[in-house]
Each structure stands twice: as structure tokens, then as C-alpha cells.
Amino acid sequence: MTSMSLNVIALGGNAILDKVPSDEGQKEVVRKVASDIVSFIQLGEKVVICHGNGPQVGNLMIQQKAGDSEQTPMMHLDTNVAMTEGSIGYWIQQAIQNELAKKKMNKSVISVITQVEVAEDDPSFKKPTKPIGPFYNQEEAESKMKNGGGIYQEDSGRGYRKVIASPKPVSIVEKEALLSLIKAEVITICVGGGGVPVIKNKQGNYEGVEAVIDKDLSAKNLAKEIEADRLIILTGVDNVYINYNQPNQKKLEHLTVQEAKQYIKENQFPPGSMLPKVESAIEFVESGGGEAVITSIENLKNVTTGFGTRISY
């Protein structure tokens, strides 16, 4: 991969809300990420940044439910997605601006509230799989389900989380505006939380729906649309594993598209976490993209030297 490559970087919401769920705790993680991103840019790389919001949007809904009243009613899920897209985008934008100033780099940064169209008849509306919010033990999850708190499923051996609809992204509504920003070499933060999920109604107008789009799938769509050279999916682990959290777990360093598809057939990747990352990587490569990389935030600076799980032909 040559220098001056165009990279779409997808940053996981779980990676931001790592241990400390407070405002300052998450900002501190984002500041470290911003330093890594700017160091990556210094290598001659161009970046467009997407981020997740699963834990954050779930927590926001819990907060809203606790204060729900006639005077302060809960917002719909699409509005909560927009709120967390704005707050996390603000954190990233400010942190990158500060890091650029520290390194005396004259570049502009902007975060864009982005809508992503989905299909009204997407099957995920009947079979939710996207985890949001905090982890619970089995007893807590069963209690919440009995009391009408939604559907909870086990998530990658880490506990139980609420799951909601996660429809596939169809198109990015603000694509032309994003392309203009990228052409002007503005560091752009967009499709946060997968973008605000919208459908077109019978009148041809957009309206929000109760869902959270997987940010990796939206990042893949964006990478295809802007003809990026590389899709980088940052998560909480250095590499993808098979037999994860089992005695015979194995780290994967390079996968062909065919090998990745075979592991999917073997159900090696959990639907709400690693599966959409691997699927996004496959689809990006098959669409003509150079390569996809899945790795941790800390190893972003090592991507150009071959670190992480790389998926290509």
C-alpha cells in the first residue's frame, strides 16, 4: 500500500467506553485515539473517521427512562442515535483539533450528523441482533425481559446485553456533502453510530426508525462510495480470533476472502460483534477495495507495517 492512501477508520463504541463510562473517562480514551490518528496522518495517510455508539446510546436510553415524565419524555431511538453521533463526534473532532495544533499541522476537522437510509422491510426489524448499553449477568437479563424491558442476549462471553434491530445500510443520505469535504482534504468524522437510520415514506420524505445500524457496515458502504484504498476497523483486540475465549483460540493474521467466508459458515464470529466486522471487510475487498484491516486502537500506527488481521484476495 503506497503513501497518501485514503483510509476509512471505523472506531468501535465499546473501544471508547472501555472501562470508565463517565464523560471525562470516554474523552480520555478519545484523546489517546486522536493522538494515534494524527500520527497515522503524519505518515502521509488520508483519513475519514466513523465511530460506533452501542454502549453510549444504550446508556442514554437508560438515563432517559429514569427521568421519563410528561414534561421530559424519552426520545425515540433515532433521535438518541443522532444525539450520541453528535456527542462522540464532538469529542473526536475537538481531540483531533487539539492534537493537530500541538503538532503544528494546518488541517481542518469536522463532524457531520449523517443519515443512512435502510429498507423498511429489512428482516432485522423482526429479529434484533445489535447489542446496546451495558452488560448484565443472566439473572439480571432474565428479570428485565420478564418485566418487558426488551430482548437480551449473551454477547461474546462477556455477559448479556439488550439487542435491537440492526438493518443493513442502503445509502448514505449526505454522501455528496461528504465527498466534497473529502475532496477538500477536510478530516471528516461521519456516519457515527452507523448513521441515523431513516426510511423514505410514501410521500418520499425521510423519517427515522427504531434501530441502530452497525457502524462497520456503514463504514464499508462509505469506503466503497468514496473509493477508499483501505478500510480499518478498530476494536478492543489486536487481531481476530477463531474459537475465541476457548482453550484452543487462534489468532488470525491474514485471511483471504474465501477463508473468512469459511469461518463465517463455521459460526466463528458472534453476530453482534465480530461478524459484521468480518462481513464488512469481505464486502469492501470484493467491491474492489485494496485491503481491510481489523485491529486495536493502540496498533493503528502499525497498520502500514502489516499489523492486525488483514483481509484481502
Active-site positions? 13-14, 130, 215, 277
Number of continuous H segments (helices) and E segments (strands) in the chain? 9, 17
Residue 210 C-beta-side C-alpha neighbours within 13 Å: 10
Here the cell at position 174 is: 449526505
Please give the angle made by the CA atoms of 39, 42 and 45, to the nearest 5 degrees: 100
Question: Using an 8 Å Cβ cutoff, are 308 and 293 in contact?
Answer: yes
Enumerate residues 6+ apart whose C-beta is below 8 A from 35: 99
> At CB < 8 A and 24+ separation, what contacts does 278-282 make?
278/240, 278/311, 279/216, 279/217, 280/10, 280/214, 280/216, 280/217, 280/219, 280/220, 280/231, 280/233, 281/220, 281/231, 281/233, 281/311, 282/257, 282/311
Helix axes 215-225, 274-286, angle to 10 degrees: 10
Cell, residue 295? 485491529
Using DSSP's 3-state secondary structure scheme, residue 264 falls into helix
